[in-house]
């Protein structure tokens, strides 16, 4: 069958089978379109039904998560774990706790994770999970009881050789601690490699907290260097003020950039003097408050309601680090009118397909999520290595490995883009580079 027809037919069948799962359709569409030139060169992938198989999760789990709030009321949330592809290693991917979580969102994230994990060069398959539980405003006790209930069901399906969850939106060190404690209690075993993002005193890795943000900056730095530029003196805007955003800001500042804005889901702050990261960390990591608090400490700074307004600020480099579809076509155009030269996706699928096209057509250096934010999962895999060795590397050792991994992702992305006739298109390059390793492993392992 003709490659284009094969891809279109498989995409239509996937849409019918997963009716209404719009985020999942969006993620699949982007990857599938990039792969047409691959199928033209490699009919064996068509003959072995690689695309039909890769788009169907190996296993999908949905379960009830009952818990009791501080007032004694019974609450029920829905838990998810999508074990998408284990061709190159155990399923690996974060857990998201956010009221918007549904099957479509977890499937889009799990699908992306297959290719991202492959790009890291490390032996990890793709998976993702989470719940529609809203951690905002919950007490520590409520968070703990929710995590314990969630793990009571999830523990049946995970393990260091099977599926290794980590954090994502709403899941940081505190939540991983509660999840790990409950897993250990239920299984009566100290299986450190079952979760990543653990605390440093019980099997965590140095640099895991910083990894996604730092990795994003390492990747964007490679893109800039490839065109004879650097972060030095560049004006940078970062959406979000969570784990990815904070450490992206930190590394960008270390490389000489001036970060002038960041946000949360309520609004954004603009500080023409450059964001003071200690204040942001205090508000977000310690006090768990809203970003609006920043203007109490910095009188020159401005706060604006409506977080998407952040894309109207004039900047050289834009780093969306909050959530999916946070930059649309119109916002992409405004960024270009204001002179943006590079966009690096710290969040997963933060740009709509139309926005991506606007960036690519206008020659913006565009680092797609599965390449640019792969640093988090890469250091998670390094955490698994350290757990297996029962040994830990220093901050510098892990950071150097992370930096090398991000450089290699950039090199492979550029190489694949060129090889398949899409020079400077890192979307196509990353999709192809990630796909080839998984597809070849699937070919080698037969029809499973």
3 state SS of 126: strand
| Residue 104 makes contact with ligand NDP by CB under 6 A | no
Q: 399, 388, 397, 405: which is closest to 196 by C-alpha?
A: 388
Helix or strand holding residue 93 (H, E): strand 91-97
Angle between helices 103-119 and 426-444 in degrees, nearest 10 = 90
Q: Give the footprint of ligand NDP on residues 197-256 (CB under 6 A).
A: 212, 240-245
| Residue 368 makes contact with ligand NDP by CB under 6 A | no
Contact stretch for ligand NDP (CB under 6 A) within 4-12, 32-40, 61-69, 165-173: 165-173
Cα of 356 vs its chain's centroid, Å:
17
User: Please, are residues 321 and 315 in contact by the beta-carbon 8 Å criterion?
Assistant: no
Closest CB to ligand NDP among residues 46, 79: 79
| Residue 127 makes contact with ligand NDP by CB under 6 A | no
Closest CB to ligand NDP among residues 362, 385: 385
Among 86, 120, 352, 373, binds ligand NDP (CB under 6 A): 373
3 state SS of 78: strand
Cα of 43 vs its chain's centroid, Å:
31
| Residue 264 makes contact with ligand NDP by CB under 6 A | yes
- DSSP code, position 308: G
Closest CB to ligand NDP among residues 327, 442: 327
Among 7, 143, 158, 169, binds ligand NDP (CB under 6 A): 169
User: Please, are residues 87 and 445 in contact by the beta-carbon 8 Å criterion?
Assistant: yes
Q: Is the dihedral of CA 9, 13, 19, 24 positive or negative?
A: negative
Q: How far apart are CA 316 and CA 302, in angstroms?
A: 20
Furthest C-alpha separation in the chain: 64
Closest CB to ligand NDP among residues 50, 259: 259
Q: Give the footprint of ligand NDP on residues 53-72 (CB under 6 A).
A: none
Q: How far apart are CA 172 and CA 198, in angstroms?
A: 9
128 as an active site residue: the answer is yes
| Residue 344 makes contact with ligand NDP by CB under 6 A | no
3 state SS of 163: strand
Among 81, 145, 307, 370, binds ligand NDP (CB under 6 A): 307
Closest CB to ligand NDP among residues 212, 412: 212
| Residue 348 makes contact with ligand NDP by CB under 6 A | yes
Among 18, 102, 265, 408, binds ligand NDP (CB under 6 A): 265
Residue 69, classified by CB atoms within 10 Å of its CB into exposed (0-12), middle (13-18) or buried (19+), is: middle
| Residue 118 makes contact with ligand NDP by CB under 6 A | no
Closest CB to ligand NDP among residues 102, 152: 102
Contact stretch for ligand NDP (CB under 6 A) within 8-16, 227-235, 343-351, 437-445: 343-351
Integer angstrom CA distances of residue 197 from 23, 64, 86, 154:
26, 25, 21, 17
| Residue 148 makes contact with ligand NDP by CB under 6 A | no
Nearest distance in Å: CB 372, ligand NDP:
9
Closest CB to ligand NDP among residues 46, 283: 283
Structure tokens at 433: 């580079």
Residues 6+ apart with CB under 8 A from 423: 417
Q: Which of 128, 138, 234, 258 is catalytic?
A: 128
| Residue 376 makes contact with ligand NDP by CB under 6 A | yes
Closest CB to ligand NDP among residues 10, 120: 120
Nearest distance in Å: CB 150, ligand NDP:
16
Q: What is 404-424 written as a DSSP string?
A: HHHHHHHHHHHHHHHHTT-TT
Angle between helices 426-444 and 22-41 in degrees, nearest 10 = 80
Among 51, 95, 261, 321, binds ligand NDP (CB under 6 A): 321
Report the residue closest to ligand NDP, judged by CB: 242
Residues noted as catalytic: 128
Residues contributing to the site for ligand NDP (CB under 6 A): 167-170, 212, 240-245, 264-266, 307, 321-323, 346-348, 373, 376
């Amino acid at each position: 069958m003709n490659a284009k027809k094969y891809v279109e037919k498989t995409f239509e069948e996937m849409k019918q089978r997963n009716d209404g799962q719009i985020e999942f359709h969006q993620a699949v569409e982007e990857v599938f379109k990039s792969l047409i030139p691959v199928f033209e060169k490699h009919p064996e992938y068509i003959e072995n039904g690689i695309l039909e198989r890769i788009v169907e999760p190996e296993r999908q789990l949905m379960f009830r998560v009952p818990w009791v709030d501080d007032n004694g009321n019974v609450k029920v949330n829905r838990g998810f774990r999508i074990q998408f592809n284990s061709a190159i290693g155990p399923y690996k991917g974060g857990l998201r706790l956010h009221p918007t979580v549904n099957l479509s969102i977890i499937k889009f994230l799990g699908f992306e994770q297959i290719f991202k994990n492959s790009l890291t060069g490390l032996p990890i398959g793709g998976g993702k999970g989470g719940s529609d539980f809203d951690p905002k405003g919950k007490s520590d006790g409520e968070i703990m009881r929710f995590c314990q209930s969630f793990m009571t069901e999830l523990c049946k399906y995970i393990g260091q050789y099977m599926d290794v969850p980590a954090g994502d939106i709403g899941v940081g060190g505190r939540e991983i601690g509660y999840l790990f404690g409950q897993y250990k209690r239920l299984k009566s075993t100290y299986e450190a490699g079952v979760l990543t993002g653990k605390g440093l005193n019980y099997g965590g890795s140095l640099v895991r907290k910083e990894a996604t943000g730092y990795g994003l900056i390492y990747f964007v730095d490679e893109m800039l260097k490839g065109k004879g530029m650097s972060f030095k003196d560049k004006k940078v805007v970062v959406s979000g003020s969570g784990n990815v955003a904070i450490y992206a800001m930190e590394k960008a500042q270390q490389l000489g950039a001036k970060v002038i804005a960041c946000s949360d889901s309520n609004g954004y702050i603009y500080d023409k003097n450059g964001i003071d990261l200690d204040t942001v960390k205090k508000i977000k990591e310690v006090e768990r408050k809203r970003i609006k608090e920043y203007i109490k400490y910095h009188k020159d700074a401005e706060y604006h309601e409506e977080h998407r307004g952040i894309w109207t600020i004039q900047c050289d480099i834009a780093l969306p680090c909050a959530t999916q579809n946070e930059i649309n076509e119109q916002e992409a155009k405004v960024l270009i009118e204001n002179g943006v030269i590079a966009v690096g996706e710290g969040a997963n699928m933060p740009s709509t397909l139309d926005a991506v096209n606007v960036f690519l057509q206008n020659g913006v250096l565009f680092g797609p999520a599965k390449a640019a934010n792969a640093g988090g999962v890469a250091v998670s895999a390094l955490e698994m290595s350290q757990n297996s060795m029962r040994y830990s590397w220093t901050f510098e050792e892990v950071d150097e490995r992370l930096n090398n991994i991000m450089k290699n992702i950039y090199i492979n992305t550029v190489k694949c883009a060129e090889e398949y006739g899409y020079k400077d298109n890192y979307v196509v390059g990353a999709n192809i580079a990630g796909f080839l390793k998984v597809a070849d492993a699937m070919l080698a392992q037969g029809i499973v």
